[in-house]
Every structure is written in C-alpha cells, then in structure tokens.
C-alpha cells in the first residue's frame, strides 16, 4: 500500500513538473524552477526506500530523499521571499545555502560515518522490510535548520500581509498553504508517528500551489508582461550591446528598422559595420558623452515609405550592475508629422502676426509723422525741418556706431531715428501768433516758445502710454523734453548739465542746431557751411557734448553733401 502511495505521488509530481515546463517563461524565478526539479527526485527516493531490500540500496535512496529535504526548504523559502518582494543580503542567502549544502554533505556520510545516522539496518521479517536506524547529532541540527527555515518563511508572509501593499494578497494566501501543509506533514510523521511519510504529499501540494502562483504572478509582474508584449507586438525595436560595443541581440522589429543588424553575429563588434557607425555607435557615444538619450532616426520600410523612429538609449542593467547598452526604437512618424505641421502652422502664424505688427507699427509711425508735419505746417520758419533733422540724426548715428565708446545697440539707434520727428510735437500747444511770427521773438514770446519742450514730452507720453516698448517710450519723451538742454546748464526747460542730459537728447541737439544754422528761415538767410561749422565747433563743450565732437567732425562731409542736395 505504501509502495502504491509513493508511486502515485511520484507520478503526480512528474505531471506537475511537465505542466510547469509548458508554462515556463524566461523571467520565472530560478528558485521555483529548482523546486519543480527537486520534488520528483525526492519522491523517487521515497519509492526506492520503500522497495529497498538491502542496506546499500536503502542508503542510496535515503541520500536521494534528503537531496530534497536539505535543498527544497531552501529554494521554497528563497522563492517565498522573492514573491513577497523582500530583499535579503546575498551573503545571508549564501549562508542559508551553505548550511543546506553542509548538512547534505553529512547526509552523504551515511553508511560510512556516524554523523547523520549512527547506525542503519535493513532486514526482511515475515516478508516485510524492517528498517532500524539510530540518528546522529547532525540529524538534530537538520531539524533545527528546518524549523528556522519554516519560521523565516512564515514570518515573511505575515510581514508582507501587514507592510507590503504592493504584494498581492491572493499570492500571499497561496503561499501560506504550502508552508502550513509542509509543517504539518513533518510534524505528523516525526511527532505523531503516522505509518507512512506525509512529506512527499506535502511536496506535491507545494508544486500544485506554485502552479497557481506562477499563473497569477504573470499578471502582477507588470515589467515582465510589458517586455513580453513589446517583443510579441513588434511595435518597438530593441538592440542590446555589451560595454565593449559587441552585439548581444535584437528583435525582428529592430532588424527591419536597421537592416544592417540582420547580418550581425553575436559578440561581433558593431563598430566593424560602417552602417551601424552612423546610428547605433553614434547614439551610444553621444549618450556616454552628453547623456543625450533621445534621438530621431529616419528609415524606409519594405514598401519604401519613410518612417521616423524615436530612439531611446540607456544602460542595460542586471539588477544594479551595468552590463552594456540598450536601445529602443519606436515608430514616431505620426507624432513627428504632427509636430512638423504644427511648426509650419506656427511659422505661418508668426509671419502673419509680424506682418500685422509691421502694419500697425507703420500706421503708428505715419500717425506720429502726420502730427509732426501738421505742427510744422503751422510754423512759417521751419519748413522741412523734421525731415532734415531726422536725416541729420541718421548721419550722426552712422558715425557714432563705428566706435564702441558709447556701446550703442541697434535698438537704440533705430528708436532714436524713429523718435527724431517727434522732438518738436510740443509746438502744437504754442499760440499761432508766436509760432507764425515772421521775425525774432521778444523775451516774453521766447519764454512761451520754450514751453514746447515740456509740452512735447507730455504729448509723447500720452501718445505712447499704451505701447509695450517701454525703452522707445522713454527715449522719445527724452528727445522731446531735453533737446534744448545745454552741457553748461544754460539750456531749457530743466537747465540740466553734462551727462545728466540723456544721450539721445544730446545727439538730437546737434542735428537740430545744425539744421537751424544752414537752413533759411523767415527771419534769416541760410548760413554757409563754413560759418555754421565754426559756430558748432565753438559750442562743443558748452552747448554740445564734447565727447560727440569727433563724430560730428567725421559726419560733416555727409551733412554738407545732404544739405547741398536740397538746394
């Protein structure tokens, strides 16, 4: 009867191992695989024990049984810890294994030394095999070790129930059962004295439970499922190489994307293939140098369609150790086409906005010029003054910008040229009787004329108060407000001196006075260039900024040529 019992359990254990082999996936825990290998071996040992008719056969059978006894508990506990996601130090793991190995080393001394069994005798009495054995000291250590292993496993399960929220409770319930059954089987035979060994049944039950467990962990091991899905669906290509850039492998998707991979042999240096230097080698070198992990790669498929692939380069890890490089390639064509369309749309939109902005700016500038012209039309003495002074400012600035002493920016220069026509806008507030007087002003009339500077600043401020260009607004106000100030402090309206006068106003003052000297007014004839230049040079440091003198001197030939062209 016992013989039949052990035969049935052996057959079931073989069947369950076959089921495991069919269900096996490469990411399954090696400890679980070891369990399914050892259980049939241990159960075979029980069959040999029960059919043994001599001490030698029984000794061999016992050694096979203990192969399972010593190592199955170790592998079951390690598998349990992994499933509970409890990481133990590798040296602790090695210590457990070394203990199992050491105990089994003493098992191998059965029949030679009294360490595990002091004595062993097999006799046939009335047609039945009678086993007589006396245990040695190591056998007691074996049971202590089994108890420790059992406590470690059960404690890990309880701890995971309480603390490990990322471990499935259903898996923990499945882990409890083989632990309990194994403990009860061991207790039943050794303590209660059951007529047959219950441990083989416990082994088979553990196999059955682990079949259920591996079926469930296939769903919970998300990273493994995703990796398998990537391989199966073919949506993502991946390539792996070792630290020396030797080829480790690639899936079919990657080979279709990069045909040069198809002819590679495992361990071949990818740098030996010219076609791979431009992509894979290039990506890895850039990743190592600048940690640039993302790239784009353009390739044509078998139908000749151009595809754009997103490339992600990174390290290939085995746990925490870098084992090489891995490269993922995913079809990003639609996304890149969308980005391209979006960029084109944004570019067209930006062009349209710039076009509208230029139109608004032109309208704004024309409005300012129209107002300045309207003011000028009321003044009998200054016809064309706005246009002439604007050109004078432009000529002066072209000379100043040749030197970096003032550090003028392009924006400052453009703003001053644009602001120059606004310098006399304040004359709109001057009475016509004064503004249109055909002769020199009396002191009282001149005082009223002076008000145009401050009034011009106020008008410019009102016109430009809604503009976003704060720099232009301030500059234009300064030109209108301070273009009649003098370096010696004798100017108006504030009596500013030296560098307290804004640079833009100092430049405007030179162009304004030069035009007044060489242009004909109702109260005077135009002055010769020589006489005008004499007055301008004498005024340097008094009326005008001495630092601007070199630029006036270099601009004078162009100023004279311009004014000559107007005659």
Provide the pLDDT for residue 1. Answer: 62
- CATH of residue 243's domain is 3.30.450.20
250 and 116 co-located in one domain: no
Provide the pLDDT for residue 543. Answer: 93
415 and 521 co-located in one domain: yes
Give CA–CA dist 17/346, Å, rounded: 63
Provide the pLDDT for residue 103. Answer: 92
Count of structural domains within the chain: 3
Asked whether 287 and 270 are in contact (CB, 8 A), the reply is no
Provide the pLDDT for residue 231. Answer: 52
125 and 180 co-located in one domain: yes
Provide the pLDDT for residue 367. Answer: 60
Phi, psi of 438 (to 5 degrees): -85, 60
Residues of the chain with pLDDT under 70: 1, 26-27, 124-130, 165-168, 183, 186-195, 217-235, 292-294, 296-304, 318-320, 332-333, 336-348, 353-354, 356-383, 432, 435-439, 521-524, 567
Provide the pLDDT for residue 208. Answer: 87
Q: What is the DSSP string of 336-361?
A: HHHHHHHHHHHHHHHHHHHHHHHHHH
Provide the pLDDT for residue 378. Answer: 52
In a domain, 229, yes or no: no
Give CA–CA dist 567/558, Å, rounded: 15
Give CA–CA dist 434/449, Å, rounded: 7
303 and 326 co-located in one domain: yes
- CATH of residue 416's domain is 1.10.3210.10
| Integer Rg of the chain from CA | 49
Provide the pLDDT for residue 223. Answer: 46
Tens of pLDDT, residue by residue over 15-71, are 998 988 888 776 677 888 888 999 999 888 888 888 887 888 888 888 998 888 888
Asked whether 141 and 147 are in contact (CB, 8 A), the reply is no
Provide the pLDDT for residue 350. Answer: 72
Provide the pLDDT for residue 382. Answer: 47
Give the residue numbers spanning the domain of 86. Answer: 2-224
Instruction: Report the relative pairing of strands 236-241 and 306-318 from DSSP bridges.
Output: unpaired
Please identify, among 169, 202, 224, the residue that sits at the C-terminal boundary of a domain: 224
């Amino acid at each position: 009867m016992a013989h039949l019992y052990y035969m049935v359990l052996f057959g079931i254990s073989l069947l369950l191992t076959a089921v495991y082999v069919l269900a096996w996936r490469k990411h399954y825990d090696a400890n679980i695989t070891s369990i399914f290998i050892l259980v049939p071996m241990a159960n075979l040992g029980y069959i040999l024990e029960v059919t043994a008719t001599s001490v030698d056969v029984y000794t061999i059978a016992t050694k096979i049984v203990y192969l399972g006894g010593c190592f199955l508990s170790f592998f079951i506990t390690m598998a349990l810890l992994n499933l509970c996601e409890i990481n133990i130090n590798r040296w602790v793991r090695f210590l457990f294994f070394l203990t199992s190995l050491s105990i089994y080393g003493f098992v191998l001394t059965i029949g030679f030394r009294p360490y595990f069994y002091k004595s062993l005798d097999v006799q046939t009495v009335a047609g039945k095999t009678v086993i007589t054995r006396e245990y040695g000291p190591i056998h007691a250590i074996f049971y202590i070790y089994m108890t420790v292993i059992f406590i470690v496993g059960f404690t890990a399960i309880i701890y995971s129930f309480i603390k490990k929220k990322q471990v499935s409770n259903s898996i923990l319930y499945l882990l409890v059962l083989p632990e309990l059954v194994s403990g009860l089987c061991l207790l039943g035979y050794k303590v209660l004295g059951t007529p047959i060994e219950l441990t083989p049944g416990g082994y088979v039950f553990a196999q059955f439970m682990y079949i259920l467990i591996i079926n469930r962990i296939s769903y919970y091991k998300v990273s493994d499922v995703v990796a398998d899905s990537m391989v199966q669906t073919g949506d993502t290509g991946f390539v792996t190489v070792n630290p020396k850039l030797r080829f480790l492998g690639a899936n079919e998707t990657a080979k279709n994307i990069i045909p040069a991979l198809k002819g590679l042999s495992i361990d071949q240096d990818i740098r030996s293939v010219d076609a791979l230097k431009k992509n894979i080698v290039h990506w890895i070198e850039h990743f190592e140098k600048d940690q640039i992990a993302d790239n784009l790669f353009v390739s044509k498929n078998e139908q000749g369609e151009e595809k754009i692939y997103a490339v992600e380069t990174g390290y290939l890890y085995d746990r925490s150790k870098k084992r090489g490089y891995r490269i993922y390639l995913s079809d990003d064509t639609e996304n890149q086409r969308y980005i391209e369309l979006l960029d084109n749309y944004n570019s067209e939109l930006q062009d349209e906005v710039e076009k509208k902005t230029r139109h608004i700016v032109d309208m704004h500038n024309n409005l300012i010029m129209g107002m300045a012209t309207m003011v000028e039309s009321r003044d009998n003495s200054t016809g064309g003054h706005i246009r002439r002074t604007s050109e004078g400012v432009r000529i002066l600035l072209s000379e100043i910008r040749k030197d970096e002493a003032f550090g003028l920016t392009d924006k400052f220069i453009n703003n001053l040229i644009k602001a120059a026509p606004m310098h006399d806008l304040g004359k709109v507030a001057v009475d016509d009787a004064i503004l249109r007087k055909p002769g020199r002003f009396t002191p009282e009339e001149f005082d009223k004329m002076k008000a145009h500077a401050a009034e011009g600043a106020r008008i410019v401020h009102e016109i430009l108060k809604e503009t976003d260009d704060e720099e232009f607004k301030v500059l234009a106000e300064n030109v209108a407000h301070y273009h009649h100030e003098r370096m010696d402090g004798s100017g108006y309206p504030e009596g500013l001196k030296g560098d307290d006068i804004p640079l833009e106003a100092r430049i405007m003052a030179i162009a304004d006075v030069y035009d007044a000297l060489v242009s004909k007014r109702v109260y005077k004839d135009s002055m010769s260039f020589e006489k005008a230049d004499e007055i301008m040079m004498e005024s340097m440091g008094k009326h005008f900024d001495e630092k601007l003198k070199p630029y006036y001197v270099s601009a004078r030939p162009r100023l004279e040529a311009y004014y000559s062209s107007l005659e």
